[in-house]
Amino acid sequence: MARYITSKLIYTLLSLFILITATFFLMKAIPGDPFMSEKEVPAPIRARLEAQYGLDKPLMTQYVNYLGNIVQGDLGISMKKLNQEVSHIIGQTFGVSLRLGLIAVVVSIIVGVTLGLLAALYHRKFIDSAVMVLAVIGIAVPSFVLASLLQYALGLKAELFPITGLRSPLGYVLPVVALSAGPIAYIARLTRSSMLEVLHADYIKTAKAKGLKWPAILWKHVIRNGILPVVTYVGPMTANIITGSVVVERIFGIGGIGKVFVDSITNRDYTMIMGVTLFYGIILMAARFITDIVYVFVDPRIKLTSGKEG
């Protein structure tokens, strides 16, 4: 196990290094820079700005300096949001996305698994068809359509929920629905097909034949085995949702990290682009890493490490 984790860690660090390097050089390759504006900045002022931010140095020097700073945990100061630390901005806005995202993740898992389970248990009954129709809609309707529709119908017309912002707990409802509709649909389908497969497996028949009570079979065998594909999906999904949906954040006017990321690219805010990319990279890789580990624990059929060590 330790060896497995170590090798995973090394791969993760290597991937992050490649990510940083690729982003750095690609970012410098796009035309434009942070000090570009429609009104020309006088040459002496521009030269001073470039010197102050170290942009006058050769590209390789800038790159090495940046790597050095990262190793020391310094993401630098935003070039557009003056006097604000990149890490501070990430912290502030990620907090918002994280809170919203985690609620959406929990809602997706609970609702998705429940719906999928119901559909599997009532296979080919009305509930099954109803869940599957909802699932198709959930996958097919893009989040921005759903978000706009919810905002218009329940926010503006019915006045049930705030139109923008997360100022009250109610404000969370619409964004959470918009964020979790897709994952709910996906999880429901995943759960359903996997549960169906398990329900027809021989060991369930055996368990039934042994006279085990149905709730026990359901809990110990069906759900535990049937949930596996969902576990694989939940990791990347969580990473995806908590890093902020630009579209949902934009529609509901939420100051999350998704918006920061997109703005940083438009502004050519170099330190901010690097900081957020690196941060995203870490989250995604951490999510994959955790998924791999959890998988080992949950899946009774596979013991990943046993091959070599056993």
Partner 1 sequence: MKKKSWMLLLTLVLVIGTVLAGCGSAEETATTDSGNTTEQGTTDNGTAAEPAATDANLAADQTLHLNLSAEPPTLDPAQAQDSQANTALRFMYEGLATIDADGNPAPGAAESWDVSEDGLTYTFHMREGATWSNGDPVTANDFVFAWERVLSPETVPAPVYAYQLYYINGAEDFNTGKTTDFSKVGVKAVDEKTLEVTLTNPTPYFLGLTSFYTYYPVHKASVEASDAWAADPSTMVTNGPFTLTTWTPGSELSWTKNDKYWDAANIKLTNVTASVVNSGATETASYQGGEIDYAGAPTGEIPTDQIQPLSQQLPDEFKLTDIASTYYYEFNTKAKPFDNVKIRKAFAMAIDRQSLIDNVTKAGQTPAFGFVPTSIAGLNNQSFRDTHPDSEYFKEDAAQAKQLLEEGMKEEGYTTLPPVTLLYNTSENHQKLALAIADMWKKNLGVDIQTKNEEWSVFLESRKTGNFQVARAGWSADYNDPMTYMDMFVSGGGNNNTGYADPAYDKLIDEAYKGGNDLEKRMQDMADAEKMLIQDNMVIMPVYYYTQASLTKPYLKGVTTDFSGAINFTRAYLEEH
| 133 contributes a contact to partner 1 by CB under 8 A | yes
- Return all residues near 84 (Cβ < 8 A) that are at least 6 apart: 77, 78
Tokens 């026990």 — which residue?
A: 216
Question: What six digits make up the tokens of 5?
Answer: 């984790």
Nearest to partner 1 of 14, 136 (CB atom): 136
* Minimal distance, residue 49 CB to partner 1, in Å: 5
Q: Which two tokens stand for residue 281?
A: 């990279």
d(Cα 88, Cα 289) in Å, to the nearest integer?
Answer: 26
Three-state secondary structure call for residue 34: coil
Q: Which is nearer to partner 1, 130 or 296 (CB)?
A: 130
Q: Total binding residues for partner 1 by CB under 8 A?
A: 68
Q: Please name which of 85, 116, 71 lies closest in space to residue 229, comparing C-alpha atoms.
A: 116
Applying CB under 8 A, the span of 145-153, 192-200, 223-231, 280-288 interacting with partner 1 comes to: 145-153
Check residue 29 for interaction with partner 1 (CB under 8 A). Answer: no
Q: Do residues 194 and 123 touch, judged by C-beta distance below 8 A? A: no
Task: Fill in the amino acid letter for 158.
Answer: A
Q: How far apart, in whole angstroms, are the C-alpha atoms of residue 230 and residue 224?
A: 11
Give the shortest CB-123-to-partner 1 separation in angstroms.
21
The residue (of 180 and 194) whose beta carbon lies closer to partner 1 is 180
Which range binds partner 1 by CB under 8 A, 12-20, 48-56, 98-106, 217-225? 48-56
Residues 247-286 that bind partner 1 (CB under 8 A): 250-256, 259-260, 263, 266, 268
CA angle, corner 78, sides to 262 and 58, nearest 5?
100
Least distance to partner 1, CB of residue 177, Å: 6
Minimum CB separation of residue 82 from partner 1 in Å reads 4
Task: Answer for the pair 175, 244: CB distance below 8 angstroms, yes or no.
Answer: no
List 2, 29, 31, 58, residue binding partner 1 (CB under 8 A): 31
Residues 146-205 that bind partner 1 (CB under 8 A): 148-156, 158-166, 168-170, 173, 177
CB count within 10 Å of CB 157 equals 9
Closest alpha carbon to 188 in 122, 138, 145: 138
Rounded to a whole number of angstroms, the minimum distance from the CB of residue 161 to partner 1 is: 7
CB of 48 to partner 1, least distance (A): 4
Build a one-symbol-per-residue string for 53-92: x at contacts with partner 1 by CB under 8 A, - elsewhere. Answer: x--------------------------xxxxx---xx--x
Residues 6+ positions from 12 with CB-CB distance below 8 Å: 285, 286, 289
Q: What is the distance between the alpha carbons of residues 17 and 281, in angstroms, rounded to a whole number? A: 10
Which residues of this chain interact with partner 1, rule CB under 8 A? Answer: 30-33, 35-45, 48-49, 52-53, 80-84, 88-89, 92-93, 96, 133-134, 137, 141, 148-156, 158-166, 168-170, 173, 177, 250-256, 259-260, 263, 266, 268
